[in-house]
Structure 1
Amino acid sequence: MNNTSFFIYLAVMAGSTYLIRAIPFAAMRKKIENKFIRSFLYYIPYTVLSAMTFPAALYATGNIYAAAAGLLVAILFAIKGKGLTTVAIVSCVTVLLVEVLRIYII
């Protein structure tokens, strides 16, 4: 790929990314009053983050059982209100233990 093509592709990607973010700001002149739309827009970031994170959490290891165990432990610790570092460390240790058990014992 030569430099001209690269910069054309880069400009198109930058322009489309900017327009996707700028058009809603330009189109909406007043505050959204509809309660349903506001609640819908409120949960979009959480939904998108979950949709991207959940499959990655299940397929991060080569073993679906180890990944599921780590995810389950992470969910349980998060529900109990533990900190992010604690949840991450405990879930990683869980995945490690399941992998070690799978390799050496089972």
Structure 2
Amino acid sequence: MTVLIMFLFLVTIITRILPAFFVTKLNLPEWLVTYLNYIPYAALGVLIFPGILTAVERPIYGILGALFATVLAFLRIPLFFIVLGSILFVYLIML
């Protein structure tokens, strides 16, 4: 069991830590850097969107809550208040 844990630890270190040392020395084209900067937003969208549709009893409530959160975000409201406001908004429309 201990050997397995150590092996998994080494595999994880090799695949996650070592590339960090080599990527800093690479000169990537600007278009590739721009493309890579969008990956966190795409991953976040993939994680959040199914929850929007399944968090409440009817998907339309989740979609309306997401639209409300989007409006608040465009108004540059702090994130804490966007989350709180969206929860309250969905709660009120479900009454």
Q: TM-score, normalised by structure 1?
A: 0.69
1:44 aligns with 2:39: yes
**What residue identity is the alignment partner of 1:42?**
N
Change beyond 3 A, Cα 1:47–1:13: farther
Max Rg structure: 1
Q: How many pairs were matched up?
A: 95
1:84 aligns with 2:70: no
Give structure 2 stretches of 5+ with no counterpart: none
1:71 aligns with 2:59: no
User: Is this contact kept in 2: 1:70–1:94, CA < 8 A?
Assistant: yes
SS of alignment partner, residue 72 of structure 2:
helix
**What residue identity is the alignment partner of 2:47?**
M
Q: Let me know the Cα RMSD of the aligned residues.
A: 2.4
Rounded to whole Å, the distance in 2 between the matches of 1:97 and 1:66 is: 10
- Sequence identity percentage: 23
Change beyond 3 A, Cα 1:45–1:61: same
Give structure 1 stretches of 5+ with no counterpart: 101-106
- TM-superposed CA distance for 1:56, in Å, is 1.8
Instruction: Tell me which stretches of 4 or more aligned residues in structure 1 moved more than 6 Å.
Output: none
Rounded to whole Å, the distance in 1 between the matches of 2:38 and 2:30 is: 13
Rounded to whole Å, the distance in 2 between the matches of 1:95 and 1:23 is: 45
Which stretch shifts more, 18-27 or 41-50? 18-27
Rounded to whole Å, the distance in 1 between the matches of 2:10 and 2:47 is: 24
Q: TM-score, normalised by structure 2?
A: 0.76
Match of 1:104 in 2: none
